Amino acid sequence: MSILVHPQANVQAESNNKIIVNNLKKRLDENKGRWIEEIPLIQCVDRTISKAAISQTPYSLVFRTEVVVPAEVVFLTTRYQLKDQENNDRILAQDLDTIDELRDLAKIRIAAHKQMITKAYNKNIKVIRFQVGDLVIRKAFQNTKDPSVGKLAPKWEGLYLIDSKVGKGAYWLATLEGNILP
């Protein structure tokens, strides 16, 4: 069993928390004190609604079947009224055979969705290639900033010459006097 040292580093948990908070804000206009009663309902809705990236509900991928909302049993929807127990058992048995395929299709859809998002995000990015001898500035990191300046410290530092290319996007920098930086 592993314990998260930095739960903020868990991107999926942060994403789920953001969804829960946004839905809570929508449901609790004036009654902000009722949030604890609303969380189970919001989680249920989040788990049983089909997601765009996978075209499935998270519930169906975990439990191998679609969820029946309690309101469908109380108010007898068409889907619940037309349920045939024998046919339902046969379909559930068939679903057990195809669940791995559904999960694989979900993985493929997630990968395609990520590629689509990456393509949209990167369409306006312009790649800049530096040459030896170009003048550049570099980002000031915490260990290179003057600690007495605090929040108002500059984000960039120096004017440096590119001395040599080390690898893809990595360079050795030198001061204008010719001293190579570590």
pLDDT digits (tens, 9 = 90+) for 99-127: 788 788 888 988 998 999 899 988 888 88
Residues 53, 121 within the same domain: yes
Between 120 and 93, the higher pLDDT residue: 120
Q: What pLDDT is attached to residue 39?
A: 82
Residues 104, 167 within the same domain: no
Q: What pLDDT is attached to residue 73?
A: 66
In angstroms, the CA 175 to CA 158 distance is 8
Looking at every residue in the chain, the average pLDDT score rounds to 77
Residues 85, 117 within the same domain: yes
Is 138 a residue whose pLDDT tops 80?
Answer: yes
In angstroms, the CA 62 to CA 47 distance is 10
In angstroms, the CA 157 to CA 151 distance is 15
* pLDDT bracket for residue 155 (50, 70, 90): confident
pLDDT tens digits along 20-50: 888 888 777 666 777 788 888 888 777 777 7
Residues 119, 157 within the same domain: no
Are the C-beta atoms of 173 and 162 separated by less than 8 Å? yes
* pLDDT bracket for residue 2 (50, 70, 90): very low
Residues 62, 98 within the same domain: yes
* Residues listed for the chain: 182
Residues 41, 53 within the same domain: no
Q: Alpha carbon of 29 to those of 10, 18, 38, 41, 174: distances in Å? A: 29, 17, 12, 16, 58
Whose CA is closest to 60, among 52, 71, 51? 51
Residues 99, 75 within the same domain: yes
Residues 139, 121 within the same domain: no
Residues 54, 117 within the same domain: yes
- Please give the structure tokens belonging to residue 4: 């998260």
Residue 67 Rama label (left phi>0; alpha psi -120 to 50; beta): beta
Are the C-beta atoms of 39 and 20 separated by less than 8 Å? yes
Domain total in the chain: 3
